[in-house]
Chains A and B, each alone.
Chain A
C-alpha cells in the first residue's frame, strides 16, 4: 500500500501546501482517507476533515484555473508573434549572408539551407568567412531555439483552443487568435471576417473599389484551401471559415473538445469536392 493521501507529509492546516498536493498528487486507488485522517489524529472529526479538504480543493481549483486560462490566450498571442518575428529575422540575416557570399564569388548562393550556407562561407574563405562565421553559428542556435518555441506554441494552442486547433492546426489557430487579439475577440467575429483575417490590405483595397474581394486571409495556409482548385477556393475558404468560427465559439464559451466537429468539416469538404455547389 503505497498510495499517499492528499494530506500526507504536510500540515493539513497549511492550505497552500495541501492545494499543491491535490494538484500534483496521485494514487492508484481511492481509500478511506477521511477515516485514516481521524484515526491518525490528523483531524479531530469528520466535519473538520471536510472543512480542511474543502479549503484545499478550492485553493487547488483556483490555482489550476489560473494556470489554464485567463492569461493563457494572451501568452499564446505573444508566443506566436515572437515566433513569426524570429522566423523573419532568421530569414533576413540568412539573405544578407547569402548576398555577401554571392557578391564575393562567381556563383549565386541561396539563403534556403543553413548547412549549405555554412559550406559556401567556408569555401569563400578570407575576411568574409572570419567576419560572418560566428554570426552563422549563432543563427544555427537561434534556429534550434525557434523550433523549441514552435512546439511550445503548438502545445499552448491546444490548451487555449482545442477545437480550433484540431480543425486549423496549431500554428494557424494561434495566428488567427493573434490576428483577432484574443480568443474572446476571435469568438465574436463573424465567419466572413474570419475568412479574410490577415488580408486586411486586400480587403480595404476592395472597399476603396480598387480590387476584387479577397477570398481568404490567414486561412489560405490551411491545406484544404491551398489544395483546392482556383475556382473552388472561395467556397472552400468560406466553408472552412464557418466551421472554424463554430470551433472558436465552443472553445471560448464551453472550453471542451467537441469530437464531432472534425468529421463535420471533412463531410462538408468532401461534399464540395463532389461538385455540390455551396
Chain B
C-alpha cells in the first residue's frame, strides 16, 4: 500500500499504525513527533487501512465536509497547506475551533454542507481533495454538488453512512444508489466497506476527470 504524502506508518506496541507529523490534539499516542491516526476514529484513516487508493500527493488544499470535532481534519492539516473544514453542528464545533486555533492550515467554517452557496465566496475553486463524512440523507448528491470546488484530477474520498440515508432500506442497495449518483459526476475508482472500523459505512474513492 502506497501512502499519501505526509502520512506514514509507525510501529507502536508491536502494531503498525498510520500517523502524521504534528503536535498531538486529543491524547493520541505519538512516536518521535508522529501522531497515531486511528482508523476507528476516522473514516478517512479507515479508508486507507482497508486499502482504498486515497492519493492526494498533488493536492495542497482540501475541502472537508462534516469536519466534526476535527480529529481527521487535524491529521490532514499535518499533511496539507490548507484545509477548509465545514461543520454544521455547534457542539462538535467547539472542539473543532480549539483544534483549528492550534493548526495554521485549518480554515474552519460553521456552515451547512447542503448549502454550498453559503461558503462559495470563501472556498477556492481548485481544491485537490474533497473528503466527506456526513450523517445526513443524500450524501452522494452532496458530494456531487461540490464538483465546482475541485481542480481537474482532484481526489474525492467519501464515506457513505447507510443508516443516515434510510434505516429501512437494505444497506447494499443504499450503497449501490450512492455509487450510481457519484459516478454521474466523478470517476469512481474503487469502493470498499469500512468494517471492522466502522459498521455500515462504504468508503468511495473517485477522481475528477
**Which A residues contact B (CB, under 8 angstroms)?**
3-6, 21-22, 25-34, 50, 53-54, 57-58, 60-62, 64-65, 68-69, 252-260, 263-264
Can you identify 27 A-B contacts, CB atoms within 8 angstroms?
A4-B121, A6-B121, A6-B122, A21-B121, A22-B109, A25-B122, A26-B117, A26-B120, A27-B121, A29-B148, A30-B123, A30-B124, A30-B125, A33-B123, A33-B124, A53-B122, A60-B109, A61-B97, A61-B100, A61-B110, A64-B93, A65-B93, A68-B90, A255-B92, A256-B88, A256-B135, A263-B167
Nearest CB on B from A53, distance (A) = 6
Q: Sort chain B's interface into a size bin.
A: 35 or more
Q: How far is the CB of A194 from chain B (nearest CB, A)?
A: 20
B102 to chain A, nearest CB (A): 11
> How distant is A46 from chain B, measured CB to nearest CB, in Å?
9
Please tell me if B199 contacts chain A, counting CB pairs below 8 Å. Answer: no
B101, A58: Cβ atoms closer than 8 Å: yes
Contacts of B168 in A (CB 8 A): 263
B125, chain A: closest CB distance, angstroms:
4
Tell whether, in the assembled complex, residue A254 and residue B92 are in contact, meaning their CB atoms are under 8 Å apart.
Answer: yes
Residues of A within 8 Å of B167, CB to CB, are 259-260, 263-264
A-B residue pairs, 5 tightest by C-beta: A255-B91, A27-B121, A255-B89, A27-B120, A64-B110
Partner of A61, one of B109, B117, B135, B164: B109
Q: A259-B137, A260-B167 are in contact. Are A50 and B82 (CB under 8 A)?
A: yes
The winner among A29, A53, A57 for most chain B CB atoms within 10 A is: A57
- For the complex, what is the distance from the CA of A54 to the CA of B102, rounded to whole Å? 12
The residues of A that contact B120 with a CB separation of less than 8 Å are 3, 26-30
Q: Which residues of A contact B124 (CB under 8 A)?
A: 30-34
- Contact in complex: B117, A27 (CB < 8 Å): yes
| Complex interface bits, B132-157 against A, C-beta within 8 A gives 1, otherwise 0 | 00011100000000001100000000
B104 within 8 A of partner (CB): yes
Q: Given A28-B120, A53-B107, A57-B109: A69 and B91 within 8 A (CB)?
A: yes
Alpha-carbon separation in the docked complex, A22 to B107 (Å): 11
**Chain A contacts for B93, CB-based, 8 A:** 61, 64-65, 69, 255
Residue in A27, A28, A252 whose Cβ sees the most chain B Cβ within 10 Å:
A27
Bound-state Cα–Cα, A253 to B82, Å: 28
Contact B100 A22 (CB under 8 A): no
CA distance A256 to B112 in the complex (A): 11
Are A65 and B121 in contact, with the CB atoms below 8 A?
Answer: no
Q: Does the CB pair B91–A57 fall under 8 Å?
A: no
Judged by a CB distance under 8 angstroms, whether B108 is at the interface is yes
Q: Which residues of B contact A255 (CB under 8 A)?
A: 89-93
Q: Which residues of A contact B118 (CB under 8 A)?
A: 26
Q: How far is the CA of A53 from the CA of B83 in the complex (A)?
A: 12
Q: Report A20 CB to chain B, min CB distance, Å.
A: 12
Contacts of B82 in A (CB 8 A): 50
B41 on interface, CB distance cutoff 8 Å = no
CA separation between A57 and B111, bound complex, in Å?
11
Q: How far is the CA of A64 from the CA of B100 in the complex (A)?
A: 15
CB under 8 Å from chain A, chain B span 182-204: none
**How many angstroms from the CA of A3 to the CA of B119 in the assembled complex?**
11
